[in-house]
Amino acid sequence: MTKERKQALWGLVLVTPSFLLLLVVVVIPIVQSFIESLRNEAGGYDLSRYEWLFTDKGMRNNIWFTLKITVISCALVLLIGYALALYLRFSPGKLAGWIRRTYMIPMFIPGVIATYGLMNLLGNHGWLSRLLLPFGVTLPRIIFDEKGLIIANLWFNIPFTTMLLSSAIAGIPGSVIESARDVGAGKLGIFFRIILPLSYKTFLVALTFVFMGVIGSFTAPFLIGQNSPQMLGVAMEQVFGVFQEREQAAAIAVFTFLLCSVLGFFYIRSMAKEEAARM
């Protein structure tokens, strides 16, 4: 056996455990869910479960509501995360140092605890509402509303996004930025022509993680979300746990997976183009 073949065989042995784990944890459940979602009430197989997703008014509202919350949350998370990453990169002051030491704290707080804290903070009878009451200020409805879900998504995702983008921006050589300044480039020009292109790959990674995390979230939507419309994760739990519609719940799960796959496709396609350009 040649040396090249031995290396190829050894590489195959090394990736086999990961492949088997992916097969058991991801691929097989997806295939089983898809097959189950095709089973109709008569015991046959068709697309009636998926047709219900778009013909039922309540489920249609759930889908649009989920997409709305996901898009708004992703936009705000990436905007704030990028702004914080830029501030931490180019601001050496005490405030930047304080933010650098504390911005990852939410990552170590369990989701249930954080959601409970938001309920006590922003609820109609929360301590912030009681604090502002003597001044005649009444908080709008936040908990059990879409505003509460967006705030929870910001809390959960901004630290991780900032960490990713800070790492990417910190890897940009300072000499490149200084050279751009020397030839008269402004702040916006430096950002759009140097920083954004060099951190675009990390930006896509952050967008992918935030999108998938928000669209598949359950804890915060279940505890502080409104009764109707609902996020798809909560709707799937209701269909499965309350109404005992396993096939319909499987259809919701497969549909959610397809939504995530769309973004995953564009991410993989972008990475493939980048690799092809390097070769």
**pLDDT recorded at residue 277:** 62
Q: State the Cα–Cα distance between residues 241 and 247, nearest whole angstrom.
A: 12
Residues forming a β-bridge with 39 = 45
**pLDDT recorded at residue 75:** 95
Nearest-Å Rg of the Cα atoms of the chain is 23
Q: What's the mean per-residue pLDDT of the chain?
A: 86
Torsion, Cα of 85, 90, 95, 101 (10° steps):
50
- Which tens digits make up the pLDDT trace of 95-147? 888 888 888 888 888 888 988 888 888 888 888 888 888 888 888 888 888 89
How is the chain split into domains, by residue range?
38-278
Q: Provide the angle, in degrees to the nearest 10, between the axes of the packed helices 246-278 and 28-37.
A: 130
Q: State the Cα–Cα distance between residues 83 and 87, nearest whole angstrom.
A: 6
Low-confidence ranges of the chain (pLDDT < 50): none
**pLDDT recorded at residue 106:** 86
Single-letter code of the amino acid located at 141: R
CATH architecture of 38-278: Orthogonal Bundle (1.10)
